[in-house]
Amino acid sequence: MVATTAASAFFPVPSPDSVAKPTKSGNGPTNLGMLKSKSSSGALQGKANAQAPRKINGTSVGLATLPVVVKDEGSRPSTAPRTFINTLPDWSMLLAAITTVFLAAEKQWMMLDWKPKRPDVLVDPFGLGRIVQDGLVYTQNFSIRSYEIGADRTASIDTLMNHLQETALNHVKSAGLLDDGFGSTPEMYKKNLIWVVTKMEVLVNRYPAWGDVVQVDTWVCGSGKNGMRRDWLVRDCKTGETLTRASSMWVMMNKNTRKLSKMPEEVREEIEPYFLNSAPVVEEDNRRLPKLNDDTADFIRSGLTPRWSDLDVNQHVNNVKYIGWILESAPPEILESHEISALTLEYRRECSKDSVLQSLTAIPGNQDSDLKSCGEVECQHLLRLENGAEIVRGRTEWRPKYSSNCGVAGEVPAESA
């Protein structure tokens, strides 16, 4: 009795509701609590077998026999009734799986490191332009893409010219003057008139690099009775440095007859409210552009033909494409060691999709010198049809690449009284 009381202090007796299950083994300590049940007159009797306690120093120690209570089958509580709550799945497993997926996705997203390193990349990331300065100046940002740069990792002259043309059309569209046509106003569309460029002058102080963001500002001014002048100013969004200045002259041409036309009064009334009274950003170069021929040209490239992608919506070759054709006849030594610092183009005739052209280039006064070692170089150009009809006359000025040539910084003009 004493041994039983001492053992119960260290080994708690199970509750009466617990039921002991018999084991198959019949030897050793594992037989503790083995039951022999026998049914007689509806009652159950249990008998527990226990191992005899050991004696140490004359005192009995060991495990005591624990009382076992066996309940009748009829006395067991019934299972809980089947309800909607009991039939629901274990949502904790589903939530754990979803959490694991989200954590893995977040880890992969952070490993991509998509965040820009430079804050200037965030400036107008979608290139959405807007009209500023009392509705007379249009401004738009462009990020220099990888496919817009050349071998020296800077934007090409074609890229700059495409930016100028894009802002010009977006300006007309934002002002509500763009109708069906390439920059045609509603009145121009009624009279089958389109804009054509006759002269373009560009000064490049520095070419933007891959990843740079540039801001292009453009506006229009009147030029005589039948013309219009459009100017551009390109600046670095981060530093505000002026990169490029450009000025162009535009006249109207009949879309059906392909002949130049005077500006109707209805059209003038449409566009005059958007004229900005300002001086050109590029001082006009009045030097005459000579006409080249087979004898005066130093380099000739023949067999140039337009592709379908070179045509614009007016079904003639885009004027930016002419620049690429002109440079086809430029000597490779200049293309490798120099870059264009100034460009002047005079458009004489349009080019159709079936035209075959020749590109001619002359370098006056530098025939015998090493072009790579030269400082500034001037080239004269002519783009003509195979029958001799002139398309474009041009002049390019070149400077050595990576030079610290800085031009005069321009500013967006303010409307004068």
The catalytically annotated residue of 141, 170, 221, 316 is: 316
Inter-axis angle of helices 319-327 and 157-174, to 10 degrees? 170
Q: How far is CA 225 from CA 138, 232, 265, 377, in A?
A: 24, 22, 10, 37
Is the separation of the CB atoms in 194 and 184 below 8 Å?
Answer: yes
Q: Which amino acid is at 133?
A: Q
Q: Can you name the residues that pair with 232 across neighbouring β-strands?
A: 218, 246
State the virtual CA torsion across 361, 250, 145, 329 in degrees, nearest 10: -10
Instruction: Kindly tell me the sign of the dihedral angle through the C-alpha atoms of 199, 205, 208, 212.
Output: negative
Instruction: Kindly tell me the sign of the dihedral angle through the C-alpha atoms of 58, 59, 63, 68.
Output: positive
Q: Is 351 part of the annotated catalytic residue set?
A: yes
The catalytically annotated residue of 205, 314, 366, 374 is: 314
Q: How far apart are CA 191 and CA 255, in angstroms?
A: 9
Distance of CA 159 to the CA centre of its chain: 16
| Coil vs helix vs strand at 295 | coil
The catalytically annotated residue of 221, 237, 351, 379 is: 351
- Helix H or strand E segment including 10: helix 2-10
Q: How far apart are CA 402 and CA 207, in angstroms?
A: 10
Q: Is 316 part of the annotated catalytic residue set?
A: yes
Q: How far apart are CA 189 and CA 194, in angstroms?
A: 8
DSSP state of 355: -
Please give the positions annotated as active site. 314, 316, 351
